[in-house]
A and B are shown apart, each in its own frame.
Chain A
């Protein structure tokens, strides 16, 4: 007789087996390889921080063979990278976009830090709303795990009990703690990376810090929001500099949205903002003014 306990054990092993068919090892750094997921036919998704070179990248497929891949694009802000794999017939991952994982749901992290598939298990410990990484990338949902993430697991999938992919695990976004980049974020980023190789982001060339506007001034100017952003640096020749933003201005709103934290500025600077003027509400010389600023495209950090 098969007990429930055995059935659970068998189902977990089957989920690992099914999910593992699309998990590859990625050789793009010294030390141990990292993992990647065969996301669409000929397209492998991995983590950016585990890819330390742009060329001579190979993958180990589930059958143990090694194949060359080319780097199609990478996005440090979401820690995603996309590789192209040609001429291999390999199952693609089954994606679960809906429903989103729930807190307490049994999940499995898969990795292939070598020829053999490895797994760890646990539960979703937190599912929260959209967040921004320390490099400004927008992640659709904050997925935190109560799962051990071993060396080489970055780039591997988090799967559910049916072997469907819930996202890509990364230890490069939250000071080494494991977070999962949801399927929705991967899908959104993938297209642009395949097309352009990078993710376009708008930028203004300002450094800011939150300041409280003195109450008397706030009252006189009839401000609803008493915290603004002091312009603490302006990049010479940058978009804000060209459009007349001055050191010492206090930024109150961008395109009608209040800003009281530097991440509020980043939130207004998606790739579609490049080259389109937006209204910036600032306090200058005790008066409220509206400036038109036109974000430029964020320059890529120069390759080492």
Chain B
């Protein structure tokens, strides 16, 4: 039996996951026992200083002013928190100058469709760069419309996925994995991260 579709799918999935792992880092807050994930972000986004690397993660991962960042190739760098928002559960960290690091490609359009494939990368337990596959459960919003919008995914996240990327079938970033709630994964939409970043980095 040959399975050209399945083998093609498998190869493409592996390639997409591989590219995503290169923009996923481990974030270890100084002195904290647990670590989480983070996403290498375009440092020029929001008019920032693009000579320094930028990492986006959850505020509940970057709990201290300093953190150690471990890249997918094993290299380690120090970073400091330059913005943190507990309500949105977001934090931005600046890295020591580093050249030629890959950054996540954010999907601007088209809007997410319910049922689309999504891929999450994280570091659960002893693992580094683990992947899970799911679909978009609900595109955005909340029934009441009061809480900040979330991407809801039919996807299993374990501790260690927090702060890592949620991406579409092309590997484009659509959100930052944040928590499990009611059996589904909740991610902060990438667009919300970008607008938050613009505000957080705007000169006072």
**Is A114 in the interface zone, CB < 8 Å from B?**
yes
**Is B183 in the interface zone, CB < 8 Å from A?**
yes
Contacting residues, chain A, for B152 (C-beta < 8 A) = 118
Interface range for A: 20 to 34
**Shortest distance from the beta carbon of B4 to any chain A beta carbon, whole Å:** 9
- Cα–Cα, bound, A98→B120 (Å): 36
Q: Which of B9-17, B28-36, B94-102 lies at the binding interface?
A: B9-17
CB contact between A121 and one of B16, B154, B169 (< 8 Å): that residue: B154
Whether A4 touches B182, Cβ cut-off 8 Å, given contacts A119-B114, A119-B154, is: no
**Is B116 in the interface zone, CB < 8 Å from A?**
yes
Contact, CB under 8 Å: A16 / B9:
no
Contact, CB under 8 Å: B117 / A9:
yes
Interface set, chain B 1-28, CB cutoff 8 A to A: 5, 8-9, 12-13, 16
Q: Which of B38-46, B62-70, B138-146, B189-197 lies at the binding interface?
A: B138-146
- Cα–Cα, bound, A13→B114 (Å): 6
**Is B106 in the interface zone, CB < 8 Å from A?**
no
Contacting residues, chain B, for A8 (C-beta < 8 A) = 9, 117, 169
Residue of B13, B136, B152 most packed against chain A (CB within 10 A): B136
Contacting residues, chain A, for B134 (C-beta < 8 A) = 121
Contacting residues, chain A, for B141 (C-beta < 8 A) = 116
Contact, CB under 8 Å: A12 / B135:
yes
Whether A6 touches B182, Cβ cut-off 8 Å, given contacts A13-B113, A121-B135, is: no
How many residues on B have C-beta within 8 angstroms of the other chain's C-beta atoms?
A: 27
Contact, CB under 8 Å: B9 / A118:
no
Nearest neighbor of B135 in chain A, beta-carbon distance: A121
Q: Binary interface profile of A, 132-164, with partner B (CB < 8 Å = 1, else 0)?
A: 000000000000000010110000000000000
CB contact between B117 and one of A5, A114, A148 (< 8 Å): that residue: A5
Whether A6 touches B169, Cβ cut-off 8 Å, given contacts A121-B154, A148-B154, A150-B183, is: yes
**Shortest distance from the beta carbon of A7 to any chain B beta carbon, whole Å:** 9
Residue of B9, B117, B141, B168 most packed against chain A (CB within 10 A): B117
Nearest neighbor of B141 in chain A, beta-carbon distance: A116
CB contact between B143 and one of A6, A14, A108, A115 (< 8 Å): that residue: A115
CB contact between B115 and one of A4, A13, A115, A116 (< 8 Å): that residue: A13
**Is B137 in the interface zone, CB < 8 Å from A?**
yes
**Is A3 in the interface zone, CB < 8 Å from B?**
yes
Nearest neighbor of B118 in chain A, beta-carbon distance: A9
Nearest neighbor of A147 in chain B, beta-carbon distance: B154
Contacting residues, chain A, for B137 (C-beta < 8 A) = 118-120, 150
**Is B170 in the interface zone, CB < 8 Å from A?**
yes
Q: Binary interface profile of A, 2-42, with partner B (CB < 8 Å = 1, else 0)?
A: 01111011101111110010000000000000000000000
Contact, CB under 8 Å: B113 / A17:
yes
Whether A148 touches B183, Cβ cut-off 8 Å, given contacts A4-B5, A5-B16, is: yes
**Is B184 in the interface zone, CB < 8 Å from A?**
yes
Contact, CB under 8 Å: B115 / A15:
yes
**Shortest distance from the beta carbon of B64 to any chain A beta carbon, whole Å:** 35
Which are the 8 A-B pairs with shortest beta-carbon distances? Answer: A16-B115, A13-B113, A9-B169, A9-B117, A120-B154, A13-B115, A5-B12, A12-B115
- Apart from A4-B12, A9-B168, A10-B116, 13 more pairs, CB < 8 Å: A3-B12, A4-B8, A4-B9, A5-B117, A9-B116, A17-B115, A116-B139, A118-B152, A119-B114, A119-B115, A119-B137, A148-B183, A151-B182
- Interface positions of B (Cβ within 8 A of A): 5, 8-9, 12-13, 16, 113-117, 134-139, 141, 143, 152, 154, 168-170, 182-184
12 contacts between A and B (CB under 8 A): A5-B13, A9-B116, A13-B115, A16-B114, A115-B143, A118-B114, A120-B137, A121-B115, A121-B134, A150-B182, A150-B183, A151-B182
